[in-house]
Chain A
Amino acid sequence: MTRAYAVFAAGLLLLFGSGLPGTRSQPASFPLELLQIAGGNFVHFGAVAMMNRDNEGGIANLGLIVGEDAVAVVDTGGSQREGERFLAAIRTVTPKPIRYVINTHMHPDHVFGNGAFAAERAAYVGHSNLPRALATRASFYLNAFRRSLGDALIDEVKIVPPSDLVRDAMVLDLGMRALILKAWPAAHTDNDLTVLDTASGTLFAGDLLFVRHVPVLDGSILGWLSVLREMARIPAARVVPGHGPVPDDWRGALAEQRRYFERLTQEVRGLISRGVPIAAAAGVAEAEKGRWELFEEYHARNATAAYSELEWE
């Protein structure tokens, strides 16, 4: 399903002689594995899993875009520790200054590493709704993830809100490499931002695209369906999802996600029109089970969120 990548970190892994099974809480300087997916584009692929101590919150895909003069980072990871290890990996690839730290949205697995880039004097860039979203959730996230990540990882996390806001679209230049940032209407969340690298044609979709990992609804199901139609028209050569591998056929991956949400919408509308209460919503769209990982963890929640949105139609 995925194309072949050049493995950059393999040598480093050998060098550090790690590979000790079960080693965890790597020193912050131990670089994450960073794979080149296109000219000037690198990705650290997060685990398709829930955030926990062992993975240091490292479940989201993290992007690095290298221009002539400077680089941009797309999401920073699920802990300060992961952010530091991402930064260490970046320094194995390029010594260029980090000009932009871009957050694709508010979720902890994408922003908890922001503090690791504080010394880089980068501009932090996000959707214009991101500051509000972080303000209303950050304390809750820090409390809630203490249970799964543990005190050591959570105590280090600093919430860094964006300094540069994208209201509609924005172009950033890294030197011979223009990035088009687009702020979307409510879909996965109400602060989703995508990054299109015009030099390579790579679209960093954040969590507007999930591959393998069941999509997670924390914004608007109808909004997301309409955003998916619009995204399909982007002239991208490839798309990096927020979770899961880079798909060979990214429009096909968008279509799979659309099928999931259309089925959910249709079946939840059926419940609502028959007067079935929201507590029964978790049982809808069973046909999707088996097609996605982490279905048990997120599907009931998606159905509940969809119900509470669609009952106002």
Chain B
Amino acid sequence: MPKWSKRAWIAALLACALGSLTQPSRAAEDPWPGLASDIFKGRPLEDGTGLLALDMPARAEDAAIVPLTIRAVLPPGDPRRVTGLTIVIDENPAPVAASFVLGPGISSLSTRVRVDSYTHVHAVAELSDGKLYAVKTYVKASGGCSAPALKNADAAATALGQMKFRLFATSAQAPRREAQIMVRHPNNSGLQMDQLTRLYIPAFFVRELRVWQGEDLVLAMDGGISISQDPNLRFSYVPNGAKRFRAEAIDTEQHVFRGEWPADAPDM
């Protein structure tokens, strides 16, 4: 999975900013081949149908909060597992929403993204065979006045970095369980131009979020600005007997947020 350095992010943001200045009219051509080649450095992408499922609503009801779920649906007996995931929202100003490294036992991952316009969304998984597999879906932008921006900008700035962790009860003997990690953060995209100053508002977002079960890494996210305000990950996992979950988030201003929770007490 590509791990983007800070410099790469800045370069990407600048490229987007300049691109939108010089190309006010929308290119009709499919951006995916170019994106795929840039993001995955020319590695071939296999068809992931039957291995991977990407669920999103057909219409982005709220442009700022579009739920997305990726599930591994490998056939029974297939020994491979998903080791990494990248979410690409083709027509967004910064198409790479996030990339994830997944620990063993993670079979589904849900998050929320911003969707700026009518777009294909691609999920690309790296399986343990070392190959990349892609699936896609199409999402219509929201109608009405919904924008991929903060609804309550003052509230978003308070409680910065507050974390919430939940465990969900599942059927009695199921080996797999579900958990959710939430981080309070405006995750400001910074791609909007101030109409008065003609300057771009600086981006401010969670760039890394990692979750451990005991000493084992459950998942690590390299986040971008297409992840919604208050980054939120819900995932299935297999308990490893550890007593604690722990999470760490780092934003673009180098704030570090940490939390720790018991691993054995579903809150519901």
Which A residues are within 8 Å of any B CB, using their own CB? 50-51, 107-109, 129, 131-141, 143-144, 147-148, 159, 161, 186, 189-190, 216, 218-220, 223, 273-275, 277-279, 282, 297-298, 300-301, 304-305, 308-309, 311-312
Contacts and interface: CB of A to CB of B under 8 A. Distances in A.
A219 B151 contact: yes
Given A134-B195, A190-B154, A144 B141 contact: yes
A190 B57 contact: no
Interface of B: 55, 57, 61-65, 67, 69, 110, 112, 116-117, 141-155, 162, 164, 166, 168-169, 178, 182, 184, 192-196, 201, 228-230, 232, 234, 268
Contacts of B228: 308
A279 B195 contact: no
B182 A312 contact: yes
Nearest to A159: B195
A279 B57 contact: yes
A298 B201 CA distance: 29
A144 B116 CA distance: 8
Contact of A308 (B63, B164, B168, B230): B230
A218 B146 contact: yes
Given A140-B149, A220-B152, A308-B230, A278 B192 contact: no
A137 B196 contact: no
Contacts of B148: 140
Contacts of A137: 147, 149, 192
A297 B117 contact: no
Given A139-B192, A301-B61, A278 B145 contact: no
Contacts of A141: 145, 147
Contacts of A131: 196
Across chains A and B, which 3 residue pairs bring their CB atoms closest together, nearest first? Answer: A301-B61, A279-B67, A135-B194
B65 A308 contact: yes
Contacts of A109: 145
A275 B162 CA distance: 20
A189 B151 contact: yes
B144 A190 contact: no
Contacts of B155: 186, 190, 220
Given A135-B195, A279-B69, A140 B152 contact: no
A136 B117 contact: no
A258 B234 CA distance: 32
Given A275-B169, A312-B230, A220 B151 contact: yes
Nearest to A108: B145
A41 to B, nearest CB: 26
Given A131-B196, A220-B151, A279 B168 contact: no
Given A134-B195, A186-B154, A312-B184, A282 B61 contact: yes
16 contacts: A50-B143, A133-B149, A134-B195, A135-B193, A137-B149, A140-B148, A143-B117, A161-B195, A186-B155, A189-B151, A190-B151, A220-B155, A275-B168, A279-B67, A308-B232, A312-B164
A311 B229 CA distance: 13
Given A279-B57, A297-B143, A273 B268 contact: yes
A50 B144 CA distance: 7
A216 B144 contact: yes
A274 B149 contact: no
Nearest to A278: B67
A282 B229 CA distance: 19
A304 B143 contact: no
A277 B67 contact: yes
Contacts of B232: 308
A308 B62 CA distance: 11
Nearest to B169: A275
Contacts of B117: 143-144
Contacts of B153: 129, 132-133, 136, 190
A148 B232 CA distance: 32
A305 B152 contact: no
A109 B145 CA distance: 8
A304 B195 contact: no
B9 to A, nearest CB: 20
